Amino acid sequence: MFFSIAQEFTTTPGLRYRHQSEYSGEEFREDYLRKMYSDAVSKGEILTIDLDGTFGYPDSFISEAFGGLAREQTNTPRKDIIARFQFISKDQSGLIEKIHNMMLNEDER
């Protein structure tokens, strides 16, 4: 499965929550990512996310979208969730590592 954020969602990712801005991390997670992830799990496929072509990702967007998905999946180990994803980022080095960190380490206090 393949999904390009710039082509299929937006070139200008917004803030954390829906009430804060358009194209928020919450919107991306709830309307796109959650469904794609569950499809990928049920079909046993890898979900490829293309991160290129945007004007930058605020940390709050990444945290809510990808970190939020990892926080939701309480029954699946974080490493298994990360293994389900493949990220493409030629524009910004370090972005994939940042997403992995957020998916791996974010916890509700």
Distance of alpha carbon 1 from alpha carbon 25, whole angstroms? 20
Tally Cβ neighbours within 10 Å of residue 7. Answer: 11
- Residue 12 sits in the site that holds another protein (CB under 8 A): yes
Q: Give the span between the Cα atoms of 109 and 95, in whole angstroms.
A: 25
15: contact with another protein by CB under 8 A: yes
DSSP assigned state of 65: I
Residue numbers 66-105 binding another protein by CB under 8 A: 67, 71, 91-92, 102, 105
Binder to another protein among 5, 9, 24, 29 (CB under 8 A)? 24
Phi/psi at 23 (5° precision): 50, 45
Q: From CA 87, how far away is CA 90, in angstroms rounded?
A: 10
Q: Which is nearer to another protein, 38 or 105 (CB)?
A: 105
CB of residue 54 to another protein, shortest distance in Å: 7
Residues that bind another protein (CB under 8 A): 10-16, 20-24, 54-61, 63, 67, 71, 91-92, 102, 105-109
